Amino acid sequence: MAGGSPEGLARRLGTTDAVVVGLSAMIGAGVFAAFAPAAAAAHGWLPLSLALAAVVAYCNATSSARLAAVHPESGGTYVYGRRRLGPLWGYLAGWGFTVGKTASCAAMALTFASYVAPGYERPVAVAAVAALTALNLFGVQRSAGVAKAIVAFVLAMLAAVVVAGLLGPEGDGPGWFTAAPGEQVTAWGVLQASGLLFFAFAGYARIATLGEEVRDPARVIPRAVGIALGVTLVVYTLVASAALRTLGPGPLARSTAPLADVVREAGAGGLAPAVQAGAAVAALGALLALLLGVSRTVLAMARERDLPGALAAVDPVRQTPRRAEATVGVAVIVLLLVADLRGAIGFSSFGVLVYYAIANASALRLSRDEGAPPRVVPVAGLVLCLVLAATLPAGSVLAGLAVFAAGLAVYLLRRRPLQRLG
């Protein structure tokens, strides 16, 4: 399959391409907003929450990278769960990822549109999804090229925020590892903030999900995941430091546009429009990465007949999963037209943690000859994923459980006719 085939996807992505895809997913619109709700939960202990989120991300990334090197196929944890734990666990991972991230695609498209065309969010969001879906149909290399331009612009904007925040005047609020008068920091709050911040790291899964399109996956995927995660951690640490120094935990928690507020408070208000543009472009990059990841999971599930087999078709010329990509694009557009998604995707956060819990459980089944990570890594990743999932807001947990219960019902209903035939 090295050169691609009618049944497989072409291996066209090198290390740089894979790193950029991961960065475009991780350094998305979330970095422009995630620190505010996290600060509301952890207050001045935000750096500890960020460190804990990074530990969870490292465990998950290491497990995912080792699994992807052994199973270099499209589908990510859906494939690993099937191969290592059994069809049901793989199906649940794929179900949670596909349903949750399809809603996330729609929400990210609305986020982009709200920055560039307030008042016309839905038509602009639909146009963005249609354009990026068309781009993906022309091949993953072109998508990676666009992602490079997006990542470069967003990193430039974040660098401007960090420089302004660290060199400008310091805020008057309480410092790190403190709380404002009347506020109380709890272990639960620190854990909840870690859960909120973790999702800003979760884009490295896109690298593993595209495993069938990466050259020399056993070498490239672990390297790309490590580089992307390391760069993201450095960027987020610098951004959090600038935000806490300039605003303080209380104002940061209350901000609706924290990074724009950082440059204003630092005396660089002229940068605020550029920061808003960076948020719009970051949302576009995250949407592009999400569409790629969901379509590859749909392809993998269709190959195993957990979704209609027609979606497993691969374009013989461009060697892209055109039916899966087009179907995901249409599904996102339908959601944009009929649903109010701004408050309806809390289950996505819960689903991501369950997804990675299954990845870590799968990594525990790797042998030493297959490059198994030290056992403490997947064990810690599994436990921490479940702990952070439990600390999410109750509405998100209940919505997530409902989505997985619906998926289990679908799985059992589809298996019943097969059991009768057996």
pLDDT digits (tens, 9 = 90+) for 215-266: 888 788 888 888 988 898 899 999 988 988 898 888 888 887 888 889 999 9
Residue 331: pLDDT band by 50, 70, 90 thresholds? very high
Alpha-carbon gap, residue 113 to 204, rounded angstroms = 25
Q: What is the pLDDT of residues 188-201, one digit of tens each?
A: 888 888 888 876 77
Query: What is the pLDDT averaged over residues 90-98?
Result: 92
Q: What is the Cα–Cα distance from 281 to 414, expressed in whole angstroms?
A: 41
Strand partners, 13: 214
Residue 1 predicted with pLDDT over 60: no
Q: How confident is the model at residue 13 (pLDDT cuts 50, 70, 90)?
A: confident
pLDDT given for residue 358 in this prediction? 96
pLDDT band at 8 (very low <50, low <70, confident <90, very high): low
In this prediction, residues 97-121 reach a mean pLDDT of 85
- Please write the tens of the pLDDT for every residue from 74-88: 788 999 999 999 999
pTM of the model: 0.79
Which of 116, 68, 165, 130 has the alpha carbon at shortest distance from 277?
116
**pLDDT of 40:** 85
Give the per-residue pLDDT at 364. 96
* Closest to 240 measured CA to CA, from 66, 30, 404, 407: 30
Task: Give me 46's structure tokens.
Answer: 């935000």
Name the burial class of residue 2, with classes exposed (0-12), middle (13-18) and buried (19+) by CB atoms within 10 angstroms of its CB.
exposed
Closest CA to 328 of 371, 289, 285: 289
Provide the 3-class DSSP secondary structure of residue 272.
Answer: helix
- The DSSP H or E segment spanning 100 is helix 87-116
In sequence order, what DSSP letters do the residues of 190-228 get, joined into one string? HHHHHHHHHHHHGGGHHHHHBGGGBSSHHHHHHHHHHHH
Asked if the model's pLDDT at residue 118 lies above 80, the reply is: yes
pLDDT higher than 50, residue 6: no
pLDDT score, position 416: 67
Query: CA geometry: angle at 401 spanning 360 and 408, to 5°?
Result: 80
Q: Residues of 80-90 as b/e, b for ≥16 C-beta within 10 angstroms?
A: bbbbbbeeebb
Which pLDDT band, with edges at 50, 70 and 90, does 38 fall under?
A: confident
Q: How many helices (H) and strands (E) does the chain have?
A: 17, 0
370 vs 379: CA distance, rounded Å:
17
Domains with residue ranges and CATH for the chain: 15-414 (1.20.1740.10)
More confident position, 210 or 293: 293
Confidence of residue 28 (pLDDT cuts 50, 70, 90): confident
Taking the C-alpha atoms of residue 78 and residue 388, their distance in angstroms, rounded to an integer, is: 21
The string of pLDDT tens digits covering residues 290-327 is: 888 899 889 989 988 898 889 998 878 777 788 999 99
pLDDT digit string (tens) for 379-390?
Answer: 999 999 999 888
Tell me which of 230 and 180 has the higher pLDDT. Answer: 230
Q: What are phi and psi of 182, to 5 degrees?
A: 85, -10
In this predicted structure, the answer to whether residue 109 has a pLDDT above a threshold of 70 is yes
pLDDT at 29: 67
Q: Which of 129-138, 186-195, 325-334 has the highest mean pLDDT?
A: 325-334
- Residue appearing with tokens 């890594």: 377
For the stretch 141-163, pLDDT in tens is 666 778 788 888 989 999 999 99
User: What is the spatial distance between Cα 62 and Cα 256, in angstroms, rounded to a whole number?
Assistant: 34
Mean pLDDT, the chain, rounded, equals 84
- Mean pLDDT over residues 85-92, rounded? 95
Of 124-133, 262-271, 293-302, 334-343, the poorest mean pLDDT is in 334-343
